[in-house]
Structure 1
Amino acid sequence: MALLRLKLTHSQKSVHVQVQDLRPDTIYARFQEEFPESGAESTLRWNDSDGDWIEIHKSDPDFEAILLAVMQKSGIVHIRSGETNGSYEPTELAQLLQRYEKVMDTFDNLSRNIVKLPPISNILIVTKPDQKLAKLTKELSIWLLETFPGITLFVDKKLQDRASFKYNEIIQHNPSWTDRLQFWTLECHKNASKQIHLALTLGGDGTVLYTTWMFQHRVPPIVAFHLGSLGFLTNFCFDSYKPAMTNILRGEGLNLNIRMRLQCSVYKYREPADQIQRMTSQLAAGDISSTSDDEAAEESRRNIETQRKAEILRKVKEMDSKEGAEVKDLGVCHDNGQTLITRIPKPKLEEFMTPTDSWQVLNEVTVDRGSNAGMLQLELYVDGNPVTTILADGLVIATATGSTAYSLSIGGSLIHPDKNSIILSPIAPHSLTARPMIIPGTKHLRICVPATSRTTAWASFDGRHRQELGRGDSVMITASKYPAATICRRDQSTDWFTGLTQVLNWNSRVQQKPFDSHL
């Protein structure tokens, strides 16, 4: 049997080896043999024809056949360890441009494709908490149960006992609907969210935001009926629910608006164990007195606080460093004119930062000064690089979907929902040049309250889970892998531009008359 050639790469080392088969176990064993320092739990990936690195799963039954086809075409397969963030070898320019063209074609087709939904059996109905809408929810539920016998509905538990919904009357009309008309609560929904195939919303944009927030992972397609006072995300009129739902549930092709969400994680600063121990020792030794009137004790406290602030600033900067360590300038050696530098080892994240909450956000993340009278100071990092210090009443980090909400009201630009971008809009900035900025959605953002800030900050996520951010606390923001898909009434662009003109009255004005109009 002919031997098969592999190129194995670990860290900066590469070797060429030959194996008898391409089973995952064989590749992992040979990689461990060549690079024992990589560890038994190291993740391996192989390089496909497009330059992408694909993880090797030991349980994949088709893996050997796929790699044999690649081997017959190129004669060798490249295997490497590590994460997916780039390869250890430079990428050819032609290959990079080819991948760019492929990505652009994919995004173009993503918004133009006619999509056919999988079979739908479980539908969630989310109704705006308004007493008048219970009657409309009842009307929609009865029509769906009568028209589509294979459908099971999940309605808000609060409607079950409302006189306007008349649940007992519905069951008396058709007792077989007892199992097909279920009621959901937030706790029940968390345990059975994967069973929902389609979500219907009756209300305004807030109802759509609430529905996407309910699904913190995969979001089912959403059909939004507008019943609120201002609906930009709600494309369908409730009066036309029968033809709209008939087209959707019969499996006919339709357009989807895939809206990017933000993955937001809050990190709380925690005093390092060594620093707590040092301060405790100083207290025990009497360096810091408990008497506030003692000037020496007050001076010692100020020194300790200054050291603490410097420690927060240094460690937050190190955590975001791409190189894994901060480069510290030790000055110039006058003998030979060379600058002496040293690298400070990057601290472990869990030693001083504790991840607390994580949310999927459709509209925006808002960091503001809350009830503090003073101006807020925030530090902005992008991909670990310090960008600027913002002095303002706050900062709004919005998606393309959220660009027509809070971000727009403080001067942010309008962004088409097909664009996976993030817009940063300062709230009442202290500098006139602090204008809104649009960056790619793939960037990693960190909004940090520095140790030198005079006030704390308050953060909210789509208007929910409002919480205080102390000095050293931060919010990490990046694109979520769980988008929200809303069903279009016509197509993505038409719905969005129609909303601009009809809902927001964008650029609406009295048209200028011709010169001869007065004649």
Structure 2
Amino acid sequence: MQSRRTFSASASYQQADKHGSEQPDKKGSGGGSAWLERLTSSLPTRMKMVLDTPGAYSKDLAPNTDKDPTREIRQSFGTTYGGNYMLQWEEEPRTILIIKKPEDEKTDKALVDVASWIHATYPHMNVVVEPDVAQEFAEQLPFLYTIPDNRRAEYTRVTDLVVTLGGDGTILHTSSLFNSAVPPVISFSMGTLGFLLPYHINNYQNALAKLIDTKQASLLLRMRLKCTLHHADGRRLQAEDGSGRINDLTVMNEVNLHRGRHPHLTWIGCYVDGHLITEAVADGLIVASPTGSTAYSLSAGGSIVHPSIQSLLLTPICPRSLSFRPVLLPPNATIQLKIGEKSRGSAEVSLDGKETFFLDKNEYLQVCMSPFPMPCVNRVHAGEDWIKDINDLLRWNQGFLNKSSMSHYMSE
């Protein structure tokens, strides 16, 4: 019998005494020495902040923003506009979470450099990493805190700022750690190209010092998606390991429903706000966010969508009908994809290419806009970053208009 989930949860890194309180867990590190874990339960709650829109707008076009201090960055229908938001912390950030690309020597060195610099320059700040990283670097960086895998809500509670070291995949992993509100995320490229990497690692000191000292950050709110899995009668699917129902799932790029290892096309009923719009016969369907529009959806023929445009992109994967084109839907739409009776087997659901679930006939997934975006720290205006990305990374339209021609037209 196939499991609803194909991955197993990581082991807990903490113990409870007879009164139920958390106790540090001593484990053997890779070098054989004892490792004493530093948990975040004693750290303060994240700082309050104010989100505002810079620049002058006419009364009719000015976006609505909440000027009251808050600990959560939320997004509602119509609140995103074509530009950055300005975040202002009430005080200096107190806790920084560093997420690194695994098993990479260059990233390992960058982690040591960045964490050591933060600890030396801002000794009052707390540096948090994932459990396996804390154990691996316990001797080099004994001041690190960590959060057990079964206490992920702690990431949201304590983190003021996230630093990622790696590529776009590292940012997608960071998104998976926050099922609710995400703190501001500043991403450093290790030399690889990516759509979500505005800073190079060589400039980390200037970039971080500017954020911390000014207590300000320019943010692009990248919309995320919320996905739930259901039986035919609407009940939520249960995990087959007995751990209870499968929780709400938050993704940054896309939800992908596909035939998986089965050789036959999948029949999928496509519903928007409860109304059947079509029954697709295809390898699968993708529901992508604007950020995900330049990922798998683009390879399947989907449109490129600016990250400031709130929308859900429905893209077919190799449909039998050549008239089934990608559809762009408003952010308040709710999409349901139901496995049809004519399907010859179950279908697989993958989220940002990480978690995988299975749906049988008449079971369905439901996707809508998440209220919790991914707030990415930007160097320049969002439009400039985006234009640079699609030209440098996708070489958009450069098969018909070469670079020399582009330079000529832009100089006129």
Q: Same fold (TM over 0.5)?
A: yes
Specify which structure has the bigger relative contact order, considering alpha-carbon pairs within 8 angstroms and separated by 6 or more residues. Answer: 2
Q: Deviations over 1:96-125 (max 9, x none)?
A: xxxx95786664767344332343101100
2:132 paired residue among 158, 162, 165:
158
1:444 partnered with 2:407: no
Evaluate the alpha carbon distance shift between residue 406 and residue 228 of structure 1 in structure 2; reply closer, same or farther with a 3 A threshold. Answer: farther
- For 2:156 and 2:221, the matched residues in 1 are separated by 19
The question of whether the paired residues in 2 share the 8 Å contact of 1:375 and 1:455 is answered with no
Which amino acid letter does the alignment assign opposite residue 258 of structure 2? D
Count, aligned residues = 324
SS for the counterpart of 1:264 is: strand
Question: What is aligned with 1:183?
Answer: 146
2:182 to 219, 234, 239: 219
Query: Could you tell me how far apart the structure 2 residues matched to 1:476 and 1:169 are?
Result: 45
Q: Judging changes above 3 Å, is the alpha-carbon distance between structure 1 residues 260 and 161 closer, same or farther for their aligned structure 2 residues?
A: closer
CA–CA separation in structure 2 for the residues paired with 1:392 and 1:236: 39
Secondary structure (helix, strand or coil) at the match of 1:225 reads strand
Query: Could you tell me how far 1:453 is from its partner in structure 2?
Result: 2.4
- What is residue 475 of structure 1 aligned with on the other side? 365
> Per the alignment, do residues 402 and 511 of structure 1 end up closer, same or farther by CA in structure 2, a change over 3 Å counting?
closer
Pair 1:123–1:445, CA change in 2 (3 A): same
2:21 matched to which residue of 1?
none
SS at match of 2:228: strand
Distance in structure 1 (CA, Å) of the matches to 2:84 and 2:147: 35
Mapped contact 2:155–2:177 kept (Cα < 8 A): no
CA contact (8 A) 2:254 2:287 kept: yes
Local SS of the residue matching 1:243: helix
Closer, same or farther: CA 384–103 of 1 in aligned 2, 3 Å = farther
TM-score, length-normalised on structure 1?
Answer: 0.59
Matched, 1:250 2:213: yes
Match of residue 412 from structure 1: 302
Determine what percentage of the aligned residue pairs are the same residue.
30
Q: Does 1:134 align with 2:105?
A: no
Q: Residue in 1 aligned with 2:13? A: none
Tell me the distance in 2 between the aligned counterparts of 1:261 and 1:113. Answer: 17
After TM superposition, list the pairs within 5 Å mapping 1:30-69 onto structure 2.
none
Residue 122 of structure 1, aligned match among 95, 103, 122: 95
CA distance in 2, matches of 1:154, 1:468: 34
Which residue does 2:270 correspond to in 1?
380
SS of residue paired to 2:246:
strand
Shift in alpha-carbon separation, 1:374–1:136, aligned structure 2, 3 A? same
The CA distance in 2 between the partners of 1:215 and 1:113, in whole Å, is 20
CA distance in 2 between counterparts of 1:470 and 1:101 reads 49
| Counterpart residue type for residue 383 of structure 2 | S
Cα distance in 2 between the residues matched to 1:190 and 1:416: 30
Does the C-alpha gap of structure 1 residues 393 and 257 become closer, same or farther in structure 2, counting only changes over 3 Å? same
Query: Match for 1:168 among 139, 142, 145?
Result: 139
| Distance in 1 separating the partners of 2:266 and 2:191 | 34
Aligned residue in 2 for 1:493: 383
CA, structure 1 residues 108+435, in 2 after alignment: closer, same or farther (shift >3 Å)? closer
- Structure-2 change in CA distance of 1:108 and 1:205 (3 Å): closer
8 Å Cα contact 2:88-2:217 kept in structure 1 = yes
Higher helix share: 1
Distance 1:249-1:377 versus aligned 2 partners, 3 A rule: same
What is the letter of the counterpart of residue 365 of structure 1? V
1:189: how far off? 3.6
Tell me which structure has the larger Cα radius of gyration.
1
Offset at residue 441 of structure 1 (A): 1.5
**What amino acid does structure 2 have at the position aligned with 1:145?**
H
Partner deviation per Cα, 1:309-328 (whole Å, 9 max, x = no partner)? xxxxxxx6xxxxxxxxxxxx
Name the aligned partner's letter for residue 491 of structure 1: H
C-alpha spacing 1:495/1:102, structure 2 compared with 1 (3 Å):
closer
Tell me how far 1:155 sits from its aligned partner. 2.1
Residues 133-167 of structure 1 deviation map (CA, whole Å, 9 limit, x = unaligned):
212100101111111122100123323454xx4x4
Q: TM-score normalised to the size of structure 2?
A: 0.73
Conservation of the 8 A alpha-carbon contact between 2:159 and 2:183: yes
Alpha-carbon distance in structure 2 between the residues aligned to 1:141 and 1:242: 11
How has the CA–CA distance of structure 1 residues 450 and 201 changed in structure 2, closer, same or farther, with 3 Å as cutoff? same
Residue 423 (str. 1) matches residue 325 (str. 2): no
- Give the Cα separation in 2 of the matches to 1:121 and 1:511: 45
The aligned residue for residue 261 of structure 1 is: 224
**How far apart are residue 353 of structure 1 and its match?**
7.4
**Alpha-carbon separation, structure 2, partners of 1:506 and 1:252:** 36
Matched, 1:505 2:392: no
Q: Is the 8 A contact 1:456 1:470 kept in 2?
A: yes
Q: Using the alignment, how far apart are the partners of 1:259 and 1:122 within structure 2? A: 22
1:389 to 279, 294, 297: 279
The CA RMSD over aligned residues, in Å, is 2.4
